Amino acid sequence: MRLSRVSSIFIFVVTVIAAQILTMATGTVFLLTQLTMTAYYSLIVIGLCLLMGFAGQISLGHAGFFAIGGYTSAFLTTFDLMPHREKAFVALLAKLHMIHARPDLYGGVVLTVHPVVACLVAVVLTCVVAYAIGIPVLKLKGHYLAMATLGFGTIIYSIVLGTQCLGAADGISSVPPFQIVPGLLVSGIPEARIQNYYIAWGLVAVSMVLLVNLISSRVGRALRSIHGDEDAANAMGVNTARYKLNAFVLSAVLAAVAGIFVTHFNGGIGPSEASIVKSVRYVAIVAIGGMANLWGSLMMSSVLNFLSLRGYFGALDDAVFGAILIIVMLFSPEGILSFNILQVLKELVDKGRRSKEAH
């Protein structure tokens, strides 16, 4: 049974609200913190799902875009402009109301770029980087594309890890909350738990509406035709390079937005967010969700990220993802949701019978 677009979104929204009410009713409101983080990580996953499942392009460097978003925003909102306030550029920013003064821990005043401006800068920077990387990288196929994006992720990781002003191995901490509109604060303080939960899942819902509409439009058909056969798509007049690039940039921006919000929500970001293991994990979740299945990816991302964030996998966190990844790819490459155990057993039995007859 296939659900219509509207009813899928409706079920999703109801589930989100029900989950929040459930935590309230059972006195487990503290779970909302992990659920909020889960939402942000799901944002990367659905973006990657568009790129991998629909455009058919693998990216092993999406944690890099997450880090670009998070680190840019964190750096701009923590870098103290006080010593530089006489300079013309800072004065200009102040005139444009892009500067934000707040008290620091020791009673002094810190002058930083306003979080909203920082967020915009981070998104624009991600777009620029994604275009710059995407134009050459997306000409590659298969292994070359995988390795090139893996390489991009590694470069971002080593830059983040090796740069002193980005905190090197410690990352950036004490990132201020991000006020979207007065009253709505992206912050990890316990009082703001519920509103943050809705901000996060609201963001996911908006992105889902956007993506679901996108893939059932002309663009979506173009992307799927690229996945099917790029040369054929080209011959039919689909501008494959442009569609691939735009899908890549869109998914990069979603990753960056997730990075920005997670950073402000947690009040900090560390280099582990940019690591290859994270990139692989996002790819794993898309693969488990069934590649070209936005709702499946979102569902798997919600479950797996939540379990992982709650620490259910313990020290075996990465091993669990690796194992699930292999098992799904071996037995059910269409994703775990399409896994049909009876079918697989039947095929195995048939195969055994056939090979017996052959002998």
Sole residue written with tokens 């995988």 = 146
Query: Given candidates 88, 105, 165, 330, which one binds other proteins under the rule CB under 8 A?
Result: 330
Q: Compute φ and ψ for 101, nearest 5 degrees.
A: -105, 135
State which of positions 275-304 bind other proteins (CB under 8 A). Answer: 276-277, 280, 283-284, 287
Query: Given candidates 91, 104, 162, 217, which one binds other proteins under the rule CB under 8 A?
Result: 162
Q: Compute φ and ψ for 49, nearest 5 degrees.
A: -65, -40
Taking the least distance from each CB to other proteins, the nearer of 35 and 160 is 160
Which residues fall within 8 angstroms of residue 35, CB to CB, at 6 or more apart? 19, 23, 197, 200, 201, 306
Q: For 271, what's the count of Cα atoms within 13 Å in the CB-facing half-sphere?
A: 18
Q: Report how many residues bind other proteins under the rule CB under 8 A.
A: 42
Sole residue written with tokens 């620029």 = 128
Torsion sign (Cα): 256, 260, 123, 274: negative
Q: At what angle do helices 218-228 and 240-266 cross, to 10 degrees?
A: 110
Separate counts of helices (H) and strands (E) for the chain: 14, 6
Query: Given candidates 34, 179, 209, 318, which one binds other proteins under the rule CB under 8 A?
Result: 318
31 to 70: interface string for other proteins, x by CB under 8 A:
---------------------x---x-x-x----------
132 binds other proteins per the rule CB under 8 A: no
Q: At what angle do helices 294-309 and 193-215 cross, to 10 degrees?
A: 150
In angstroms, give the least distance from the CB of 21 to other proteins: 37
103 binds other proteins per the rule CB under 8 A: no
**Distance separating alpha carbons of residues 291 and 58, to the nearest angstrom:** 10
Q: Which stretch binds other proteins (CB under 8 A): 118-126, 206-214, 247-255, 323-331?
A: 323-331
Taking the least distance from each CB to other proteins, the nearer of 125 and 318 is 318
92 binds other proteins per the rule CB under 8 A: no
Taking the least distance from each CB to other proteins, the nearer of 73 and 149 is 149
Instruction: Give contact residues for other proteins (rule: CB under 8 A).
Output: 52, 56, 58, 60, 136-137, 139-144, 146-148, 150-152, 154-155, 158-159, 161-163, 276-277, 280, 283-284, 287, 316, 318-319, 321-323, 325-326, 329-330, 333
